[in-house]
């Protein structure tokens, strides 16, 4: 299984000829890939999903499904071009297969399990939205914007390192609680180069020596 990190929160996971896209938001380049069987969106914030990104992917991959929590379904309800008439989409919206903590889906070669229900707190004045972290093939966990610790072992963690909701000490405690064999930093678009280096250094302190950290530049891939 290969994971390619794009900018910020977006990942493309490849297994054979099939691809899974996670969190294609507006801090990420236009996602132009084929072979996509599913798009997983952890939550509705635009740095994790936009109707334009999803529509671009679906136009190139008409058989792909979109999976995410209820807030994502509401956010994509107005995206032009999809058919459907139920509460998870409409004639003018993208149909979303709604999931929450404890749900599982199998799409192509990807076994997906979902963990957590809520976005981490930004501030008391900012509403907390739905968030469902995804564990891919029992190995790679993308928590979205949360500190959800799955109730199963995590081999590889996509670890957020920069966000309005993130405090470095809490990030380190979170990574220590998950205890991955391997972590790589994501969710970095709000950081300067200096800040990214500092936060990645703290990530290393939390993961090593029991595990390791790999820093992927946007577009680089890792085989796991």
pLDDT of residue 209: 84
User: What is the tens place of the pLDDT at every residue in 17-52?
Assistant: 999 999 999 999 999 999 999 999 999 999 999 999
SS (H, E, C) the chain: CEEEECCCCCEEEEECCEEEEECCCCCCCCCCCCCEEEEECCCCCCCCCCHHHHHHHHHHCCCCEEEECHHHHHHCCCCCCCCCCCCCCCCCCCCEEECCCCCEEEECCEEEEEECCECCCCCCCCCCCECCEEEECCCEEECCCCCCCCCCCCCEEEEECCCCCCCHHHHHHHHHHHCCCEEEEECCCCCCHHHHHHHHHHHHHHHCCCCEECCCCCCCEEEC
Residue range 217-223: average pLDDT?
Answer: 97
Q: pLDDT tens digits, residue range 95-128? A: 999 999 999 999 999 999 999 999 999 999 999 9
* Chain mean pLDDT for the chain: 94
pLDDT at position 92: 57
């Amino acid at each position: 299984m290969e994971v390619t990190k794009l900018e910020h929160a977006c990942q493309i996971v490849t297994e054979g000829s099939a691809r899974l896209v996670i969190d294609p938001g507006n801090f990420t380049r236009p996602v132009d890939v084929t072979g996509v069987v599913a798009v997983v969106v952890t939550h509705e914030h635009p740095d994790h999903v936009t109707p334009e990104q999803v529509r671009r992917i679906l136009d190139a991959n008409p058989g792909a499904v979109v999976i995410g929590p209820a807030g994502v379904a509401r956010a994509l309800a107005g995206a032009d071009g999809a058919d459907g008439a139920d509460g998870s989409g409409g004639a003018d919206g993208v149909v979303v297969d709604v999931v929450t903590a404890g749900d599982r889906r199998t799409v192509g070669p990807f076994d997906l399990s979902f963990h957590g229900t809520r976005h981490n707190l930004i501030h008391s004045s900012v509403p907390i939205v739905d968030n469902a972290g995804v564990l891919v093939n029992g190995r790679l966990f993308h928590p979205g914007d949360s500190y959800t610790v799955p109730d199963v072992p995590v081999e590889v963690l996509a670890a957020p390192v920069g966000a309005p909701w993130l405090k470095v000490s809490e990030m380190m405690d979170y990574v220590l609680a998950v205890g991955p064999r391997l972590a790589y930093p994501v969710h970095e678009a709000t950081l300067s180069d200096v800040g990214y280096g500092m936060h990645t250094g703290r990530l290393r302190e939390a993961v090593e020596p029991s595990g390791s950290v790999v820093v992927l530049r946007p577009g680089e891939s890792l085989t796991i």
